[in-house]
Structures are given as structure tokens and as C-alpha cells.
Amino acid sequence: MRAQPGRPRTAARAAVGLPDGFRFYDLRHTGHTLSTPSGATLKDTMVRAGQSSEKAALIYQHSDEERQREVAAGLDDLVRAERAKCHKDDPAHHSEEVAES
């Protein structure tokens, strides 16, 4: 495979043995897409991609069943922590439990 003169990306692709159809843009897209499951916010993605619009950054935001389970588990953890805190801070609630026992 011979690189076209004047095309640095073509030469780089050929030098490392990447297929002709490989696009360096795909690396950019993959990197930004993978940043989301690592915990990056929409704003983080915008900064990393050099974008000023949320609409453009939303291209990299994907959600699947696994992520939805993670979100649900996180919400469950927050609710349980808040309920435990309220339970601990409410002396009247403790006296009711003792009376029921």
C-alpha cells in the first residue's frame, strides 16, 4: 500500500498498517464516547471536544441498559442514605419502634 503524496494522515495510516477505510476522526469519537461511562459530564465532554454547544456534545452521550441500571442503583443508594439519616435523626421514630417490639 503506497501513501498519496501530500496526505499526512494517509501516510501515517499506511506506516502503521491501518486499513484504507480507517478514519482518525473515529478515534476522536471513540475517546469522547468512552469518557461518558468513565464519569465525564456533558460539560466535561464539551471541553475535551472543544465544543461550545451542548447539542454537538450530545453526539457522544450514549445510554444503554447497563448504564440505566447504574443510574437506578445510584438513585437507590441516595434514597436509602437519606432515609437512614432521617431515621437516625428522628427520636420519635425510635420510640415508636421500641413500642412496637
Q: Is residue 74 part of a domain?
A: yes
Q: Is residue 18 part of a domain?
A: no
Percent above pLDDT 70 for the chain? 82
pTM: 0.50
Q: Is residue 15 part of a domain?
A: no
What is the SS3 string spanning 55-79? HHHHHHCCCCHHHHHHHHHHHHHHH
36 and 54 fall within a common domain = yes
**99 falls in which pLDDT band (50, 70, 90)?**
low
pLDDT tens digits along 44-53: 989 998 989 8
How many domains in the chain? 2
Q: Are 45 and 35 in contact (CB under 8 A)?
A: yes
58 and 84 fall within a common domain = no
pLDDT tens digits along 5-40: 557 888 888 899 988 888 888 888 888 888 888 888
pLDDT at 80: 96
72 and 101 fall within a common domain = yes
Q: Is residue 13 part of a domain?
A: no
Its domain, for residue 36, covers 24-62
Q: Are 36 and 48 in contact (CB under 8 A)?
A: no
50 and 69 fall within a common domain = no
Q: Is residue 51 part of a domain?
A: yes
